[in-house]
Amino acid sequence: MSDVFKQLEKQSQGSALSLEDALNNLTYNEAGLIPAIAQQHETGEVLMMAWMNRASIEETLKTGQVCYWSRSRNSYWRKGESSGNQQTLVSMAADCDGDTLLLKVDQKGAACHTGRRDCFYNEIKVDGLTINSDPIQDPNQLYQNSKA
Amino acid sequence: MSDVFKQLEKQSQGSALSLEDALNNLTYNEAGLIPAIAQQHETGEVLMMAWMNRASIEETLKTGQVCYWSRSRNSYWRKGESSGNQQTLVSMAADCDGDTLLLKVDQKGAACHTGRRDCFYNEIKVDGLTINSDPIQDPNQLYQNSKA
ipTM of the complex: 0.95
B-chain residues near A22 (CB < 8 A): 122, 124, 128-129
Pairing outcome for strands B16-17 and A128-131: antiparallel
Backbone angles phi, psi at A120, to 5 degrees: -95, 60
Confidence check: pLDDT of B132 > 60: yes
B38 inside 8 A of chain A by CB: no
User: Is the four-CA dihedral B7, A34, B46, A110 of positive or negative sign?
Assistant: negative
d(CA A117, CA A133): 9
A49 inside 8 A of chain B by CB: yes
Q: How confident is the prediction along chain A (148 residues), in pLDDT tens digits per residue? A: 899 999 999 999 999 999 999 999 999 999 999 999 999 999 999 999 999 999 999 999 999 999 999 999 999 999 999 899 999 999 999 999 999 999 999 999 999 999 999 999 999 999 999 999 999 999 998 887 554 4
Neighbours of B127 (CB within 10 A): 10
Neighbours of A24 (CB within 10 A): 12
Per-residue pLDDT at B66: 98
d(CA A37, CA A55): 17
- Give how far A137 is from chain B: nearest CA, Å: 13
d(CA B39, CA B48): 7
B60 inside 8 A of chain A by CB: no
